[in-house]
């Protein structure tokens, strides 16, 4: 196997593919990246048995076709350390891979490509496509609410649901829920629900760099595949039943508060400084056209903020984890935000005051 390619052309797909590869592996071949040369196209593959990523890049000078696996991190570090604009000549002889550039020469150990695990082919039952920017918005607006290492393993991921030709993405960790709906109809799609694992969500989000280019999504019974011209991403799905999120959405929230998003975000950021470091609780006191935010901690220190809001109705006092509120205010856009409440023991519903595509539910705290 032999080819040459510019450093910059190789580094972009190599970085993405190496991101999937875990540092500590049970199988030695899993810490390697597989290189396959066919004609003038080089494919790079990395996997951790849950997520697989294949990047494709044309080589400058095609030599001898072949396939081999080399240590992922070392190859990335070598490419990064070479000067910008340099060319790399890659060759494999007698089980060793040689990387040459200018006056530098590196010899890397290899493992045979036949030992490299691959995800099964023919996985898809449903296919649709959308713009990369649209998919990135769906992920960015909800992924912060995914659970981390929860025993309810189906919460350590994100629900992708197609219902009545509408694509919806939902994430929850039991304390808060985020939901974003794709505004355009996916015609001809049957109803389905799949749970993409946390690592799959985060890796997929890293790939969505070209906003206006299409990305094709294929859903199977236990895999999801995303394809563009430059890469193919495959992830196993979480085998489990996602909770019925519709039941969580507050239906009878009659106390509606409308406030400036940035003002609220800054007020919560300031009061958070003196909240309990472990529980992060803040108290919201609602009265006509005014919202008081109060935080205190075990050292008897207090922070108070008063934010003007639009509100008509009875007073209310309710506690929240301030981190959850800040997460939501961080992903919402638009000038104003709408907060719907009913009583101190019921969840709050947050959304953009103008028609938005996202809904957020945050559970209250007893303070």
Rounded Cα–Cα distance for residues 321 and 280 (Å): 5
Torsion over CA: 183, 188, 190, 192 (sign): negative
Rounded Cα–Cα distance for residues 275 and 35 (Å): 51
Rounded Cα–Cα distance for residues 363 and 348 (Å): 7
Torsion over CA: 317, 320, 322, 326 (sign): negative
Name the band, by pLDDT with cuts 50, 70 and 90, for residue 267: very high
Give the DSSP letter of residue 366: -
Residue 102 has pLDDT above 90, yes or no: yes
Residue 221 has pLDDT above 90, yes or no: no
Which pTM does this prediction carry?
0.91
Q: Which of 236, 247, 258, 289 is nearest to 119 (CA)?
A: 236
User: Residue 164 region, left (φ>0) first, then alpha (ψ -120 to 50), else beta?
Assistant: left
State residue 122's pLDDT score. 65
From first CA to last CA, the distance across the chain in angstroms is 66
Q: Report DSSP letters for 52-114, one per residue.
A: EEEEEEE-SEEEE-EEEEEEHHHHHHHHHHSPTT-EEEEEEETTEEEEEETTEEEEEE-B-GG
Q: Which of 233, 242, 177 is nearest to 202 (CA)?
A: 233
Name the band, by pLDDT with cuts 50, 70 and 90, for residue 118: confident
Name the band, by pLDDT with cuts 50, 70 and 90, for residue 123: low
pLDDT in tens, 306-340: 999 999 999 999 999 999 999 999 999 999 999 99
**Residue 153 phi, psi dihedral angles, 5° rounding:** -55, -25
User: Which of 155-159, 182-186, 252-256 has maximum average pLDDT?
Assistant: 155-159
Mean pLDDT, residues 98-115 taken together: 96
**Do residues 321 and 281 lie in contact, with contact meaning Cβ atoms separated by under 8 Å?**
yes
pLDDT in tens, 7-57: 999 999 999 999 999 888 889 999 999 999 999 999 999 999 999 999 999
Please state, in angstroms and as integers, the Cα–Cα distance from residue 249 to each residue in 79, 84, 136, 235, 347, following that order.
Answer: 49, 52, 24, 29, 8
Give the DSSP letter of residue 271: H
State residue 63's pLDDT score. 87
Tell me which of 120-124, 142-146, 255-259 is least confident. Answer: 120-124
Structure-token pair, residue 320: 């929240």
**Do residues 154 and 242 lie in contact, with contact meaning Cβ atoms separated by under 8 Å?**
yes
Structure-token pair, residue 184: 């355009």
pLDDT in tens, 169-211: 999 999 999 999 999 999 889 999 999 999 999 999 999 999 9
Structure-token pair, residue 294: 């109060």
Domains and CATH numbers, the chain: 2-115 (3.10.150.10), 126-246 (3.10.150.10), 249-362 (3.10.150.10)
Mean pLDDT, residues 238-266 taken together: 95
Rounded Cα–Cα distance for residues 2 and 62 (Å): 7
């Amino acid at each position: 196997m032999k080819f040459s390619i510019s450093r910059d052309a190789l580094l972009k797909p190599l970085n993405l593919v190496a991101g999937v590869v875990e540092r500590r592996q049970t199988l030695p071949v899993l810490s390697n990246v597989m290189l396959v040369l066919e004609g003038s196209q080089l494919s790079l593959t990395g996997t951790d048995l849950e997520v697989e990523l294949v990047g494709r890049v044309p080589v400058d000078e095609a030599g001898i076709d072949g396939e081999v696996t080399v240590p992922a991190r070392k190859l990335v570090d070598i490419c990064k350390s070479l000067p910008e604009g340099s060319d790399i000549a890659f060759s494999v002889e007698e089980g060793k891979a040689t990387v040459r550039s200018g006056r530098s020469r590196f010899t890397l150990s290899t493992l045979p490509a036949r030992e490299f695990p691959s995800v099964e082919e023919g996985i898809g039952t449903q296919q649709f496509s959308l713009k990369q920017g649209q998919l990135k918005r769906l992920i960015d607006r909800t992924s912060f609410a995914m659970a981390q290492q929860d025993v309810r393993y189906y919460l350590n991921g994100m629900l992708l649901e197609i219902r009545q030709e509408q694509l919806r993405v939902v994430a929850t960790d039991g304390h808060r829920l985020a939901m974003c709906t794709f505004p355009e109809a996916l015609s001809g799609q049957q109803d389905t629900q799949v749970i993409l694992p946390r690592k799959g969500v985060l890796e997929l989000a890293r790939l969505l760099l070209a906003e206006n280019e299409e990305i094709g999504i294929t859903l199977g019974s236990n895999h999801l595949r995303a394809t563009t011209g430059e890469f193919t991403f495959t992830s196993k799905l979480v085998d489990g039943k996602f909770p019925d999120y519709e039941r969580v959405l507050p239906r009878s929230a009659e106390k509606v508060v409308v406030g400036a998003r940035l003002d609220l975000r800054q007020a919560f950021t300031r009061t958070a400084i003196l909240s309990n470091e472990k529980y992060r609780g803040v108290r919201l006191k609602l009265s006509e056209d005014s919202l008081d935010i109060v935080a205190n901690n075990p050292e008897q220190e207090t922070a108070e903020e008063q934010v003007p809001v639009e509100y008509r109705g009875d007073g209310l006092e309710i506690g929240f984890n301030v981190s959850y509120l800040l997460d939501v205010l961080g992903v919402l856009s638009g000038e104003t935000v709408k907060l719907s409440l009913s009583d101190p023991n019921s969840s709050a519903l947050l959304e953009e005051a103008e028609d938005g595509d996202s809904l957020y539910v945050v559970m209250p705290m007893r303070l």
